[in-house]
A and B are shown apart, each in its own frame.
Chain A
Amino acid sequence: MLSFKDFGRACVVALWFMVLTFPLMVIKVNPIDRVITWRWHNMVWVGVGSFLCYLASRAWQIHRDARLRRIRLGQEEEKEPLSRRILQNPSIYRPLLAAGALFFLAFPGLFSTYQTNIMITALMYVVLGLGLNIVVGVAGLLDLGYVAFYAVGAYAYALLNLHFGLGFWTVLPIGGLLAATFGILLGFPVLRLRGDYLAIVTLGFGEIIRLILENWNEFSHGPSGISNIPRPGFFGIQMSLDQSITYLYYLMIGMVLFTIFVVNRLQNSRIGRAWFALREDEIACQAMGIDKTRTKLTAFALGATWAGMVGVIFAAKTTFVNPASFTFLESAIILCIVVLGGMGSIVGVIIAALVLILLPEYLRAFSEYRMLVFGAVLVIMMVFRPQGIVANIRKTYRVEEG
């Protein structure tokens, strides 16, 4: 049960939050009338809110500790986590999957073009997340410059279309290949680096690509970008804007399914096992005869390929690219998706991408507080579920015996 001490702590927490949010929530300066409105009622709300939140989280904690103690004493069975129970029980996840598939297939018919457009963006981030998941989640190489490959893909389409008139479908694989090449290019100098050092170099790489695009005017048209990029074609049929958005939506759905299929196969393959091993212990990896160089480079290249292809789709969707779309913040968001979803977990990454991209959109009702709420969700998530939404369930492969 909650003790007297908990109430005391809750008071301190409430006071702390009241002080912390004081400038933001209470003071409102109106520079035109030159008056300050003091919104003291907001302070009361913050105080009461944080007081109750603290008590609720504390009660939950006590409940959980008590349960853990009972499990340790053998009075209660240990329950499998909810996500795992769902994912390992076909009679639960099959209907869920079917409902999800139906929802996504019917989406453009049910909702407006605006909603469809947002969903396309979210699906693009699903693919980006799955791509980065190979590098960060599976192979354990912290890459903070992932957006560079995204930029390579987008500019590949923009430039090849501008200069050579190449179409979307031709450039899609080229964009992927180019990004893979850049992945290997980045891979070589960082082969010997790990952890923080690797993160810094990849961060630098991302910035280099962005700065080149921004400053090499003759090549990339600088900050003004490249416009009038054609949308994806469909056997030369003319489409209205609405139609082409719907088309792009289904194309993206196909892309997501393709990515899930390939990434899943990769993770359970020989190279996937080598990646897992590399993440766990490099020396042991070498002692087992795993080619460290090739394993790392394939991780970078295969991760980058997806970013390149999504880049092409991005350019086709917005019909305009400029370097401002490829800032570090993008890399950070994609990394957030991977970490929040659960490193190495495909289902988790998909859910996280949808949540992270859709949440800020639907939080627009909260207008200026939406990023605040978004940040709070991230913090709360990492405090209570550091392993991600769906902790990675690796397919345990068995060696045939006898």
Chain B
Amino acid sequence: MLELKKVSTYYGNIQAVRDIDLRVEEGEIITLIGANGAGKTTTLMSISGIVPPKRGEILFRGRPIHGLSPDRIVALGICQVPEGRHIFPDLTVAENLDMGAFLRRDRKEVARDLEYVYSLFPILRERRNQPGGNLSGGEQQMLAISRALMARPQLLLLDEPSMGLAPLVTRQIFEIIRQINREQNTTIFLVEQNANLALKVADRGYVLETGRITMHDRADALRANKDVQRAYLGI
């Protein structure tokens, strides 16, 4: 579904991602794990076009998307939940969700998707008329995921959904990520620091170290791998 071929991305002169090769198959959850500054977020930003790659190719369903503007990429069906949630603080929850459906014109389908995200996160329905900025961290993350779902993406890019959340909330959110993948058949690209949890949820995983992919395997195999255990799982 998505393929990265020798992608390199720079911030000015600083290279954050070095010749990354990566594949995402239809309907799977894949995860990219790594330490701080390994280039996880940059990889996602390259896919979504916010920080376009300098070299290499990104193919979505066989079609090159590197060099397209971010809004075109969203229109193709790739939606990103940015790191740190980035909800619209002054808009109400309902308006935030409506912004997610910005590019869609099929009102009936949008209304149905709204019902769906409210069923995933009932708390959002309760708070639908409150400004997004008044929600707790966990609720904001739920809102950010829901907002991205409102774009009805084929590929959902999740950037550190566990950031700053209590373990219980994190587990709940990961449960729902799995549910979205199952029920909507949405392919999910998950970037996480919490490698343990991410590998439990994912089908396959990639390990990123200082901008390079050092390992990739099935998620359970990675969890069993001695090096990964020592470096990321704290075992």
Are the chains A and B members of one assembly? yes
Given known contacts A396-B129, A399-B114, A287 and B86 CB-to-CB distance under 8 angstroms: yes
Residues of B within 8 A of A (CB): 48-50, 69-71, 73-75, 79-82, 86-92, 94-95, 97-100, 102-103, 107, 110-111, 114-115, 129, 147-148, 151
On whether the beta carbons of B71 and A283 are closer than 8 Å, the reply is no
| Total contacting residues, chain A, CB less than 8 A | 24
Whether A195 sits at the interface, judged by CB under 8 Å, is: no
Distance of A398 Cα from B98 Cα, bound (Å): 9
On whether the beta carbons of A288 and B74 are closer than 8 Å, the reply is yes
Whether A67 sits at the interface, judged by CB under 8 Å, is: no
> Cβ of A291: which chain B residues have Cβ within 8 Å of it?
69, 71
CB-contact partner of B86 in A270, A281, A397, under 8 A:
A281
Distance of A400 Cα from B111 Cα, bound (Å): 6
Distance of A20 Cα from B69 Cα, bound (Å): 57
On whether the beta carbons of B74 and A397 are closer than 8 Å, the reply is no
On whether the beta carbons of A402 and B71 are closer than 8 Å, the reply is no
Whether A318 sits at the interface, judged by CB under 8 Å, is: no
> Cβ of B98: which chain A residues have Cβ within 8 Å of it?
273, 397, 399
CB-contact partner of B80 in A287, A293, A396, under 8 A:
A287
On whether the beta carbons of B95 and A397 are closer than 8 Å, the reply is yes
Distance of A402 Cα from B151 Cα, bound (Å): 18
> Cβ of A276: which chain B residues have Cβ within 8 Å of it?
88, 90-91
Q: A280-B90, A399-B111, A401-B114 are in contact. List 9 more A-B contacts (CB 8 A).
A: A273-B99, A281-B87, A283-B82, A286-B71, A288-B103, A398-B94, A399-B110, A402-B111, A402-B115
- CB nearest neighbor in B for A284: B86
- CB nearest neighbor in B for A282: B86
Q: How far is the CB of A276 from chain B (nearest CB, A)?
A: 7
On whether the beta carbons of A288 and B111 are closer than 8 Å, the reply is no
Render A239-252 as a binary contact track against B, CB cut-off 8 A, 1 for contact.
00000000000000
Distance of A291 Cα from B70 Cα, bound (Å): 7
Given known contacts A276-B91, A283-B50, A283-B86, A289 and B129 CB-to-CB distance under 8 angstroms: no
CB-contact partner of A289 in B71, B82, B89, under 8 A:
B71
On whether the beta carbons of A289 and B103 are closer than 8 Å, the reply is yes
Distance of A276 Cα from B74 Cα, bound (Å): 19
